[in-house]
Amino acid sequence: MSEREHRWTMVIDLDRCTGCQACVVACSVENNIPVVGEDEVRMGRAMHWIRIERYWEGEYPNVRARFIPVICQQCERAPCEPVCPVFATYHSEVEHVNIQVYNRCIGTRYCANNCPYIARVFNWFDPQFPEPLNEQLNPDVTVRRRGIMEKCTFCIQRIRRAEEMAEAERRPLGDGDVQPACVQSCPAEALVFGDVADPNSRVAKLVRSRRAFRLLEELGTEPNVIYLKGGEAHVG
Amino acid sequence: MSADATALVQPKEEWRKRLLLDPRPAEEMNHMVLKAMTTFGWRYWVVVGILALLALIGLGGAWGYQVLVGMGVAGIRRPVFWGVYIANFVFWIGISHSGTFISAILRVFKAEFRRPITRASELMTTFALIVAGMYPLIHLGRTWRFYWMIPYPNQRQLWPNFHSPLMWDMIAIFTYLIGSTLYLYLPLIPDLAMARDHARGWRHRLYRFLALGWRGTEAEWHHLKRAITIFAFAIIPVMFSVHTIVSWDFGMTMVPGWHSTIFGPYFVAGAIFSGVSAVVTVLLIVRKTMKLDYFLREEHFDALGKLVLVFSFVWTYFFFADYLTEWYGGEAVAKELLTLQARGPVAPLWYLMLTTNILIPWFTLWNKRIRTSPPALFLITLGVNVGMYLERYIIVAGYLTRNRLPFDWGAYNPSPVELLISLGSLSTFVLLYAVASRLIPLVPVWEVQEGQFVHSLRRVGRILVPSVSELE
């Protein structure tokens, strides 16, 4: 494992997002997210780790849809962490990622209440993977049982694998070596992932953009997800 | 008044209505309490049978089903991750404040009307805490892993997170449960010894064991009094801490509406309000079913009615302070919460709460005739607890439906499983109380006798006046 400290960051360009939900599907496939069925989804129990929020702007007839993909913001000062009584969620000082330990979680759901981004999802029942979805479970990711909290991990398994590959090939981890499933699948390239600790990376440059902002910045949670939203010029 | 000379030498009829000025022989009083304890009508067994069945269905059936199938059988969903279970938890912790408040605070301040009602309210504290303590377990996604919250040495060297208000909660509740149980037990010893001396068979063996060989010597009384005094003073801060910490489960978060500095005292006031009201409700039932009219009189309900009114004022004050601050804050999400209560889905509950907690007590309890009328008082105090339950429901399940991202607003309706578990826990509380009422003396006879000993009608010139000699 490389000695250098990473600061994994995702940049989400709202001016590019078309709301196609490809990232939601890719994420579900990568992370063994169970399918819960229409009734449960209607009740508000969808398990997706990414949520494409849709807001309407303007007055008729000049109405326009705006999309905000919301994932776990991997906050530096995460409100979910101190409230967990058993340390099932804690901060990784190496990756600057908010870690969820499935085996330790006892299901108080306190973290989910205290997340201002409503980014966490709960396993209300044991997971179901109807045929043929059971054939494509990702062996790198734990399947969670009932009563456990889960959320976006920045595809930590992909970060680990990229680090191991780089170490095996005796080279430093390059920009773009780590790609979470959502980033890989985004056709509009609205999502960019990388290490801001590396000043030459793509994200490091995008973060300095004038269009950059963070969701609910005023709460002081210091998210590691940066949004870009600028201007009228980019979208029609 | 001085014109009527004969009236002066006769004690006023009013005074004879007071328990402490109306002494009876010790044997008669003991007999009254023991008879209430050992009378089992068919109605009693029917009630106990129904309660046991409901408790079994709720806690054995519904909870068992939830553990086996998953939390999904409850109505909670994103973003309302906490629902009826947490509202019930806060409610029962609130009920548990009755005993300590009535007993410890009134004992410390030497309020004489407390004497016959301390035991009945302390018993409520213990049982309400047992029921409240079940809810964090019912609420856990993986109930079978609850012991991970207990700090025990293990080979994985994992420790609970003491930054979490849930850990403070667990410690506070355990402390309160142990403290209040001991505080219930200490003043019970002389009464258990009294019961031992009158009982035969298994009851005799039980009371002999529990009375710890009490004989009533001067030294024993001295030690007991000291112990009770120490406990009375020590349990008061514990009582305040428990509901303050329960409120911090909410106050320490960043959830809109929960993050409030006033929640500590607001919840404590609400807990005492609901606890004292529950004591009145229970005492009215106890007096009716156990024929304890000699001990529980108009004066006690009069005094308790005043306490309920005072705590209605206190609760309203905190409620108003919280509400007004949110309103003037003008934060967008706080505005949504206020709209939710005034015109949203929880509006009927909110207005009902205002009616039962403010309107009805304020317009009725100032009147002594209403305070001393059992049916009126029963309905009013029951209403207060309905209102206090709604308050907790709105704060927990209502506030969570709104948040800072309007796309994620949600709704919540309790499921049949949640309702069955709630009913089962209520039945458990009443069942425990009904069983205990036939096992231990529900009126502290020695405390009443002690009170009667120091209260007397003394002749001053031609008139009789009530007088009290100071104890200790």
Question: B141–A113: do the CB atoms touch at under 8 Å?
Answer: no
Q: How confident is the model at residue A235 (pLDDT cuts 50, 70, 90)?
A: very low
Q: Is A123 on the interface with B (CB under 8 A)?
A: yes
Res A234: pLDDT: 45
CATH of the domain at A173: 3.30.70.20
Inform me whether the pLDDT recorded for A163 exceeds 70. Answer: yes
**Which A-chain residues 167-226 have CB contacts (< 8 A) with chain B?**
216, 219
Nearest by CB to A86, from B70, B160, B252: name it. Answer: B160
Q: How far is A166 from chain B (nearest CA, A)?
A: 31
Nearest by CB to B77, from A45, A108, A113: name it. Answer: A45
Task: Give the integer Cα–Cα distance in Å for B103 and B116.
Answer: 10
Within 8 A of A122 by CB-CB distance, chain B residues are 71, 78, 81, 141
Q: Is residue A1 part of a domain?
A: no
The amino acid at B271: A
CB proximity list for B177: less than 8 A, separation 6 or greater: B126, B129, B130, B133
- Structural domains counted in chain B: 1
Res A1: pLDDT: 44
Q: Is residue B368 part of a domain?
A: yes
Q: Is B259 on the interface with A (CB under 8 A)?
A: no
Tell which of A83, A120, A126 to mutate to test the B interface (max B CBs under 10 Å).
A83
Q: Is residue B425 part of a domain?
A: no
Q: Is residue B227 part of a domain?
A: yes
Q: Is residue B236 part of a domain?
A: yes
Domain of A129 in residue numbering reads as: 8-228
Within 8 A of B142 by CB-CB distance, chain A residues are 105-107, 146-148
Res A95: pLDDT: 82
Within 8 A of B140 by CB-CB distance, chain A residues are 106-108, 147
Q: How far is A198 from chain B (nearest CA, A)?
A: 32
Give CA separation, B232 vs B183, B187, B226, B317, in Å.
8, 11, 10, 27
Burial of B29 (0-12, 13-18, 19+ CB in 10 A): buried
Q: How confident is the model at residue A3 (pLDDT cuts 50, 70, 90)?
A: low
Q: Is residue B459 part of a domain?
A: no
Average pLDDT value for residue range A202-208:
93
The amino acid at A206: L
Within 8 A of B159 by CB-CB distance, chain A residues are 87
Indicate the helix (H) or strand (E) that contains A162.
Answer: helix A156-168
Q: Token pair for residue B300?
A: 């006690």
Res A53: pLDDT: 94
If you write DSSP's letter for every residue of B378-394 in order, what string do you get? HHHHHHHHHHHHHHHHI
Q: How far is CA B432 from the centre of its chain?
A: 14
Task: Give the chain A residue whose CA is nearest to the CA of B151.
Answer: A86
The complex's ipTM works out to: 0.91
Q: Is A109 on the interface with B (CB under 8 A)?
A: yes
How does pLDDT run across A220-234, given as a tens digit for each residue?
A: 999 999 999 986 544
Domain of B245 in residue numbering reads as: 24-40+75-414+438-445
Question: B407–A109: do the CB atoms touch at under 8 Å?
Answer: no
- Structural domains counted in chain A: 1
**Residues of chain B scoring pLDDT < 50:** 1-3, 5, 7
CATH of the domain at B271: 1.20.1630.10
Q: Is residue A67 part of a domain?
A: yes
Q: Is residue B421 part of a domain?
A: no
Res B1: pLDDT: 44
Nearest by CB to A45, from B78, B143, B160: name it. Answer: B78
Q: Is residue A235 part of a domain?
A: no
Percent of chain A predicted with pLDDT > 90: 78
Within 8 A of A43 by CB-CB distance, chain B residues are 77
Q: Is residue A145 part of a domain?
A: yes
Res B41: pLDDT: 86
Q: Token pair for residue A162?
A: 């990229």
How does pLDDT run across B249-265, given as a tens digit for each residue?
A: 999 999 999 999 999 99
Res B462: pLDDT: 80
Inform me whether the pLDDT recorded for A217 exceeds 50. Answer: yes
Q: How far is CA A120 from the centre of its chain?
A: 10
